[in-house]
């Protein structure tokens, strides 16, 4: 029986998952918490925007988790042999670039830079480069609007070139010492395959396309002339970056001797080209044409795909549209909500910190579940952390309307859930307005698995069945799928992602179907949500608002009357 | 030394206050909790709109509290003699009408009706008559819009004719048994002065003008023809009501032998014509031309006056404009906010029930007091219980905007305080837009006395000095002022309300002056409040809203930067 290993690098830890390639069964798993900094993140008390990571943690994590998985598998099954493992796949957070020397050593591993945080991995949530992001956005708007059209219209401070430009501007010593910069997802495939020069790295299409404005339509990375206007040194760096990128069906290389020995794995088994966690997470959940995967956590990532060769307009407000970023042969379409679980956590931790008995998610969910749609008379906007899709505006904030002197915490809690559901519907509608029909919605992440009320509300609001991924580790599973595909059919893997997903990715039996009478009420409430959404979120609105409170009360009255 | 007694009938209890007429010093006071029903209110589990009261409670309350005041005064001062008491004044809640027989006996005191709640006092907060209120409003809009122009444009379910018409429609037995109906403020003066027929009662101008559409301009009560269209029996009742009303400087009569004996008071001392609590409360706080008295409790009553003979347009949105309802010779102008303390109580009791240490008014006030104006990025509308002035719309609800994932309870608490301050400013602006210049603001009620943060925010928001009434019992003090005036100068009282107020009503030394930098920020925030106010509260708005969240964030940024 062949197995594959999926490695999922999160913000605070790495997880290895040993998967049966025949049916996707998860045999063993192991987690390694990064020891460096605060929960694995190097921070700076004088700059709350700074977030860095130590690449050594990643490597120690691989060793610890893979060995542990194998050990557990051996313990569970006397017949298990590490030789049955046919490949390794990797997903990571990003954009998280790191400066490396000519031999791909992290600068942070050099004695002279070991105390300099700028020589470490610039973690996705590092926001030190906001000024540079603005500068890049403005230049692109003027000279290359097509660069932005594929990434939501704004180049983010979280992304590749913003961070590198910020390093160039603020720490030229590190910048000059760096031969090149790698997303750490590419650094990890380089390490495992023993690549020691830039040319031997097979960079991730997903990372490059979503974060570095890479697109074969315009010849790869942004043109030299564009980077030169930002800084001549950035244009020089372009030569030492990459001009080809790869999808995750491709083998980045064989597992090198050194690491094969270290991990007790067969040498030269394929290591798949890596990708970002949400994208391989979507694969693990079973993404496909017409299938939207919602990865629901503190925020959401909403991913679907669209076949290459079929016409696809730019869809305003999407975070990214990248050929091959999710599935080879498809455009990966990424949308998202800036806060979902974070909004519920805010309410519980900041507004209702009353302990398990009174103010917990469980208790509020229990009470909120007894309310009918519309019964509270409340309506909220889910913008406590801005709006990623479809408004792409971080400077939006929350709104709650309809409260009376009797409004109770569980009513607000439910209104916040409903708000995120309305936000989810707005994303689905945006896809469909531009011709991307969504026929199936698959949810994954802790909230989707653990909170049936939320899933039922999502079904009732969207009027669509909500399915849940069988795996609770879709990212690691997606990486294992990539490993199985890069290994190929002959080795016990698969020829294509479609084949692998069919065998390895399932949904749970229990799904959530819309209840018609609830959906009818939510249709009315969504019109009011959309009115608030457009009024507060767009410059084009010039309508009336006086109906909103009255309409909510009328809906409330009709609910309590029935 | 002459004294006066002020009797203040609240919703749950009656308070007697023995006052030195020379300087307004409060010598003794006594409170009697009504024993009937729930905290003095007869309720009906099958109809939450119903709220009635037992008139026997009022009479027992007079006896208990007046005797207790006298006893305490004797204990405190050996020289005190009940003969030094020169008059009695009365204020009550309202509109609270009650059916009486030909000899002014409450129907509830008759054996046949003692178990029928409709024979009792229909307390101000009884809302059983909402259908009749709508009917009266619609008829008046069509036929006599002038009737509504003086009472805010809508005839309320809380008011005199709504309640009587509802009784007529739903319990004709009680209606037919009633010779007439009295506001209980008039019933009480009738009892104390020994009046035994309708003609001997001196009805309160305040009650009649604010609640029964009484106005000498159109010959007193609404014309017979108008009432006939509502119901012929209502037109017949009109004959047995009243055609003259009186201000509280007038003596309703002398204290009758029976009650003089019962209370151990000199017979025939004057009992002043009664008025509603808020109006005599404004007198007790020192209301006058240009002086706005804000009685701040669960809701507010905002009262000022305007001299008879000086031109005064109808002011849209005011609750009432009645000649002599507050001070003789002046129009009483009444405005109000539907919820103030109730909004803070809602937040503490419903949303933050975390005990004294964390969620109390005291703790939230302490933390909210450390915030700068604008710092939270939050803005709220104070409409959790609708909007009384200037929108006169019960079907409006609350709104909170600007919350992020870091928003804390004390920030919301402060935003709610600020919202009520913006509401207060909107009322002041409305007065001034129609020529009623407000030169002084005097606050009274528990919140004004006990919460310096709220008063400072009111000063900062309105840009006006906030003064506080010296007395914490301004209603009872106002009744004592009325008693002193109705007794007259020769008896040791005063010739006019102005003279009596000058001697008896004071403000505290400590006042709250606007802090210029806070006022400047609140000026910006008020523009945003007004934008929301007009957008959600009026049909005329058709502007944009997308600026609001951004403007709040910009104000927040500038606050934290400075």
Does A490 reach chain B within 8 Å, measured CB to CB? no
| Count of CB pairs separated by less than 8 Å, A with B | 138
Q: How confident is residue A3, by pLDDT bands cut at 50, 70 and 90?
A: very high
Mean pLDDT of all residues in chain B? 95
- pLDDT recorded at residue B46: 86
Is B525 found in the same domain as B397? Answer: yes
C-alpha B495 chain-centroid distance: 26
Residue B232 domain-assigned? Answer: yes
Is B484 found in the same domain as B393? Answer: no
Q: Is the pLDDT of residue A313 over 90?
A: no
- CB-nearest to A404 from B377, B384, B539 is B384
Residues A465, A512 contacting (CB under 8 angstroms): yes
Does B179 reach chain A within 8 Å, measured CB to CB? no
Exposed/middle/buried for residue B471 (C-beta within 10 Å: 0-12, 13-18, 19+): buried
The Cα of A382 is separated from the nearest Cα of chain B by a number of Å equal to 10
Does B343 reach chain A within 8 Å, measured CB to CB? yes
Does B255 reach chain A within 8 Å, measured CB to CB? no
> Helix or strand or coil: residue B345?
helix
Using alpha carbons only, give the angle B517, B520, B523 rounded to the nearest 5 degrees: 150
Is B97 found in the same domain as B236? Answer: yes
Does B553 reach chain A within 8 Å, measured CB to CB? yes
Q: How confident is residue B428, by pLDDT bands cut at 50, 70 and 90?
A: very high
Residue B510 domain-assigned? Answer: no
Q: How confident is residue B357, by pLDDT bands cut at 50, 70 and 90?
A: low
Exposed/middle/buried for residue B487 (C-beta within 10 Å: 0-12, 13-18, 19+): buried
Cβ burial A235-259 (10 Å sphere, 16+ → b, else e): bebbeebbeebbbbbbbbbbbbeeb
- pLDDT recorded at residue A543: 84
Residues B319, B389 contacting (CB under 8 angstroms): yes
Residues A391, A404 contacting (CB under 8 angstroms): no
- pLDDT recorded at residue A355: 65
- pLDDT recorded at residue A152: 81
Distance between CA atoms of residues A455 and A448, nearest Å: 6
Nearest Cα residue in chain B from A395: B550
List chain A residues with CB under 8 Å of B546: 535-539, 541
- pLDDT recorded at residue B458: 98
Please give the structure tokens belonging to residue B399. Answer: 């709104």
Q: What is the pLDDT of residues B49-101, one digit of tens each?
A: 899 999 999 999 999 999 999 999 999 999 999 999 999 999 999 999 999 99
Does A396 reach chain B within 8 Å, measured CB to CB? yes
Q: What is the pLDDT of residues A136-159, one digit of tens each?
A: 999 999 999 999 988 888 899 999
Given an 8 Å threshold on Cβ–Cβ distance, is A542 in contact with B543? yes
Question: CATH no. for residue A76?
Answer: 3.30.420.40
Q: Is the pLDDT of residue B560 over 80?
A: no
Given an 8 Å threshold on Cβ–Cβ distance, is A396 in contact with B539? no
- CB-nearest to A536 from B345, B412, B548 is B548
Residue B424 domain-assigned? Answer: yes
The Cα of A402 is separated from the nearest Cα of chain B by a number of Å equal to 5
- pLDDT recorded at residue B330: 96
Distance between CA atoms of residues B518 and B242, nearest Å: 52
Please give the structure tokens belonging to residue A186. Answer: 């590419």
Q: Is the pLDDT of residue B505 over 70?
A: yes
- pLDDT recorded at residue A48: 84
> Helix or strand or coil: residue A256?
coil
Distance between CA atoms of residues A13 and A473, nearest Å: 13
Using alpha carbons only, give the angle B494, B498, B502 rounded to the nearest 5 degrees: 85
Distance between CA atoms of residues B181 and B187, nearest Å: 9
Does A139 reach chain B within 8 Å, measured CB to CB? no
Is A195 found in the same domain as A86? Answer: yes
Distance between CA atoms of residues B378 and B357, nearest Å: 24
Q: Tell which residue, B252, B127, B234, has the closest CA to residue B175.
A: B234
Given an 8 Å threshold on Cβ–Cβ distance, is A346 in contact with B397? no
Does A350 reach chain B within 8 Å, measured CB to CB? yes
Query: DSSP assignment of B99-138, as one string?
Result: EE-TT--BGGGSGGGTT-GGGSEE-TT--TTHHHHHHHHH
Q: What is the pLDDT of residues B372-391, one digit of tens each?
A: 999 999 999 999 999 999 99
Exposed/middle/buried for residue B516 (C-beta within 10 Å: 0-12, 13-18, 19+): exposed
Q: What average pLDDT does this structure show over B418-438? A: 97
Q: What average pLDDT does this structure show over B514-519? A: 98
Is B451 found in the same domain as B326? Answer: yes
Does A316 reach chain B within 8 Å, measured CB to CB? no
Q: What is the pLDDT of residues A321-364, one digit of tens each?
A: 999 999 999 999 999 999 999 999 999 988 886 666 677 899 99
Half-sphere exposure of A4 (CA within 13 A, CB side): 34
Residue B509 domain-assigned? Answer: no
Is A322 found in the same domain as A372? Answer: yes
The Cα of B350 is separated from the nearest Cα of chain A by a number of Å equal to 6
- pLDDT recorded at residue B320: 85
Does A544 reach chain B within 8 Å, measured CB to CB? yes
> What is the tally of structural domains in chain A?
2
List chain B residues with CB under 8 Å of A403: 346, 384, 397-400
The answer, as to whether pTM is greater than 0.90, is yes
Using alpha carbons only, give the angle A27, A29, A32 rounded to the nearest 5 degrees: 170
Query: Residues near A47 by Cβ (< 8 Å), separated by ≥ 6?
Result: A128
- pLDDT recorded at residue B300: 94
| Most confident option among A546-550, A552-556, B237-241 | B237-241
Q: Is the pLDDT of residue A283 over 70?
A: yes
Q: What is the pLDDT of residues A427-482, one digit of tens each?
A: 999 999 999 999 999 999 989 999 999 999 999 999 999 999 999 999 999 999 99
Residue B357 domain-assigned? Answer: yes
Does B537 reach chain A within 8 Å, measured CB to CB? yes
Is A234 found in the same domain as A145? Answer: yes
- pLDDT recorded at residue B227: 98
Tokens 């002014």 belong to: B104
Q: How confident is residue B562, by pLDDT bands cut at 50, 70 and 90?
A: low
Q: How confident is residue B356, by pLDDT bands cut at 50, 70 and 90?
A: low
Q: What average pLDDT does this structure show over A536-542? A: 90
Lowest mean pLDDT among A55-69, B239-253, B341-355: B341-355
Provide ipTM, 2 decimals: 0.91
List chain A residues with CB under 8 Å of B404: 384-385, 397-398
- pLDDT recorded at residue A40: 96
Which one of A457, A484, A504 terminates a domain? Answer: A504
Is A56 found in the same domain as A126? Answer: yes
Does B550 reach chain A within 8 Å, measured CB to CB? yes
| Most confident option among A303-312, A355-364, B165-174 | B165-174
Residue A509 domain-assigned? Answer: no
Query: Residues near A168 by Cβ (< 8 Å), separated by ≥ 6?
Result: A175, A231, A233, A234
Residues in chain A, overall count: 562
- pLDDT recorded at residue B70: 98
Residues A88, A7 contacting (CB under 8 angstroms): yes
Given an 8 Å threshold on Cβ–Cβ distance, is B339 in contact with A405? yes
Chain B interface test: which of A343, A344, A549, A554 (most B C-beta within 10 Å): A549
Which one has a higher pLDDT value, B47 or B326?
B326
Nearest Cα residue in chain B from A539: B546
Share of chain B above pLDDT 90, in %: 90
- pLDDT recorded at residue A106: 98
Please give the structure tokens belonging to residue A132. Answer: 């540079």
Residue A368 domain-assigned? Answer: yes
Does B406 reach chain A within 8 Å, measured CB to CB? yes
Please give the structure tokens belonging to residue B128. Answer: 């059983």
Is A336 found in the same domain as A261? Answer: no
- pLDDT recorded at residue A151: 84
Q: What is the pLDDT of residues A162-172, one digit of tens each?
A: 999 999 999 99
Q: From the CA atom positions of chain A, what is the Rg in Å?
A: 24
Is A333 found in the same domain as A248? Answer: no
Is A489 found in the same domain as A451? Answer: no
Residue A70 structural domain: 3-278+475-504
Is A291 found in the same domain as A265? Answer: no
Q: What is the pLDDT of residues B195-219, one digit of tens each?
A: 999 999 999 999 999 999 999 999 9
Distance between CA atoms of residues B213 and B144, nearest Å: 11
Residue B222 domain-assigned? Answer: yes
Distance between CA atoms of residues B262 and A160, nearest Å: 91
Given an 8 Å threshold on Cβ–Cβ distance, is B550 in contact with A350? no
Distance between CA atoms of residues B304 and B301, nearest Å: 10
- pLDDT recorded at residue B341: 94
Does A542 reach chain B within 8 Å, measured CB to CB? yes
- pLDDT recorded at residue B559: 87
């Amino acid at each position: 029986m062949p197995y594959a290993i999926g490695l999922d690098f999160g913000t605070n830890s790495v997880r290895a998952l040993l998967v049966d390639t025949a049916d996707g069964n998860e045999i063993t798993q192991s987690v390694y918490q990064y020891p460096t900094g605060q929960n694995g993140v190097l921070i700076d008390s004088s700059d709350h925007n700074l977030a860095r990571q130590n690449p050594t943690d990643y490597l120690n994590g691989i060793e610890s988790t893979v060995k542990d998985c194998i050990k557990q598998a051996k313990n569970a099954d006397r017949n298990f042999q590490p030789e049955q493992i046919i490949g390794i796949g990797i997903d990571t957070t990003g954009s998280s670039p790191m400066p490396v020397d000519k031999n791909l050593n992290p600068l942070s591993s050099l004695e002279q830079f070991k105390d300099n945080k700028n020589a470490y991995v610039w973690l996705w949530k590092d926001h030190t480069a906001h000024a540079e992001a603005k500068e890049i956005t403005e230049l692109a708007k003027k000279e290359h609007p097509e660069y932005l059209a594929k990434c939501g219209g704004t180049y983010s401070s979280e992304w590749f070139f913003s961070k590198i430009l910020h390093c160039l501007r603020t720490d030229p010593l590190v910048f000059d010492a760096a031969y090149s910069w790698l997303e750490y997802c590419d650094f990890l495939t380089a390490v495992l395959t023993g690549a020691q020069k830039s040319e031997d790295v097979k960079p991730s299409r997903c990372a490059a396309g979503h974060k570095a404005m890479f697109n074969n339509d315009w010849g790869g990375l942004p043109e030299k002339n564009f980077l030169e206007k930002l800084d001549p040194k950035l244009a020089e760096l372009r030569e030492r970056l990459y001009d080809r990128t790869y999808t995750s069906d491709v083998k980045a290389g064989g597992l090198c001797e050194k690491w094969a020995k270290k991990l007790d794995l067969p040498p030269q088994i394929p290591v798949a080209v890596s990708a970002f966690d949400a994208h391989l997470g979507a694969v693990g959940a079973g993404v496909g044409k017409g299938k939207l995967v919602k990865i629901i956590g503190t925020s959401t990532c909403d991913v679907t795909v669209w076949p290459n060769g079929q016409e696809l307009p730019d869809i305003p407000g999407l975070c990214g549209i990248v050929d091959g970023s999710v599935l080879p042969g498809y455009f990966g379409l990424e949308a998202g909500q800036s806060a979902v679980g974070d909004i519920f956590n805010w309410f519980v931790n900041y507004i209702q910190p009353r302990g398990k008995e009174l103010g917990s998610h469980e208790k509020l969910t229990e009470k909120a579940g007894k309310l009918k749609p519309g019964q509270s008379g409340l309506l909220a906007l889910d913008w406590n952390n801005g709006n990623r899709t479809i408004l792409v505006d971080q400077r939006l904030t929350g709104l709650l309307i309809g409260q009376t002197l009797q409004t109770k915490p569980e009513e607000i809690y439910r209104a916040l859930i409903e708000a995120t559901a309305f936000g989810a519907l707005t994303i689905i509608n945006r896809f469909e307005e531009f011709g991307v029909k969504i026929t199936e919605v698959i949810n994954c992440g802790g909230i989707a698995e653990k909170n049936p009320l939320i899933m039922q509300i999502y079904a009732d609001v969207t009027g669509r069945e909500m399915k849940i991924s069988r795996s609770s580790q879709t990212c690691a599973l997606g990486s294992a799928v990539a490993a199985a595909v890069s290994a190929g059919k002959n080795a016990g893997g698969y020829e294509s992602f479609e084949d692998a997903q069919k065998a390895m990715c399932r949904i749970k039996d229990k799904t959530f179907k819309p209840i018609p009478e609830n959906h009818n009420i939510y249709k009315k409430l969504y019109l009011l949500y959309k009115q608030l959404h457009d009024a507060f979120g767009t410059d084009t609105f010039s309508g009336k608002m006086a109906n909103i409170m009255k309409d909510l009360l009328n809906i409330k009255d009709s609910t309590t009357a029935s």
